[in-house]
Amino acid sequence: MDLIAPYLPPDVSLTVALVLMAMSFLSSFITIAFGIGGGGLMLAVMASLLPPMALVPVHGVVQFGSNAGRTAMMTRYIRWSAVWWFAAGIILGIAIGASIVIAIPPSVLLIGVGLFLIWTVLAKPPAWMRDWPLVTGTITSILSMFFGASGPFVNTYVKSLDMDRHAHVATTASLLTLQHLLKSVAFGALGFAYAAWAPFIAALILCGLAGTWTGKRVLNRLTDARFKQALNIILFLLALRLIWSGIERLF
């Protein structure tokens, strides 16, 4: 334990580190097996264990590493035609940052996004999400700067393209890789000191890669129908969580 302690960041105990490493494995497993849910789960656990100022920056780098690994493992499945304009929107959205939403009460934004996600589960995602990827990429990236976990928003865009399960996971991972990379760079430019967190972040990323490799085997055994069913269920539960968080903030 004494040998490990010097590599841990401030205010992070060995117990906390081990819990988060296990959660990194589990969250990556869930994300590749079912398409969504791991990033939000990881963010929720991190929020209860890490200092608030470190939460979104550290989560962003860990998610970048996890999604980059997922992208590398599934590059041949990426639908590149769905990536380019959305990627341009990511760049624009990160550049804009939170300035557009800063005047909107967080509770209203959480409830609104939650209701929108429920609508996309119960009905088809609106046509503009599919037809205007530059706009969709910009909006989701602004929301990512605000919330931290952007998987539900990116997944809703990819879901509107009606891909098979492998293409869905691979395309989503490629978009989230760019989004989390640019977000992490932005937080670094704003002054967050990543150096003290580097060994810990590297350990979380390695655990995430192990979870991705394991979860891919589950994905290969699912049918497209079962995958989409699981995706809709997880999206619906995440939407309910957003709405509940918004209601809590109201009161």
What mean pLDDT value characterizes the chain? 81
What's the pLDDT tens digit per position in 4-56? 666 788 778 888 889 999 989 988 888 888 766 677 778 777 777 888 778 77
Alpha helices in the chain (DSSP H): 14-34, 38-49, 52-73, 84-96, 106-122, 127-131, 133-147, 151-159, 165-189, 198-221, 224-250
For the chain, how many structural domains are there in total?
A: 1
Q: Domain containing 46: what range?
A: 5-250
Report DSSP state, residue 99: T
Report DSSP state, residue 125: P
* pTM of structure: 0.77
What's the pLDDT tens digit per position in 142-193? 776 666 566 777 887 888 888 898 898 899 999 989 888 888 888 788 788 8
Residue 101 has pLDDT above 50, yes or no: no
Instruction: HSE, CB side, 13 Å, CA atoms: give it for residue 156.
Output: 28
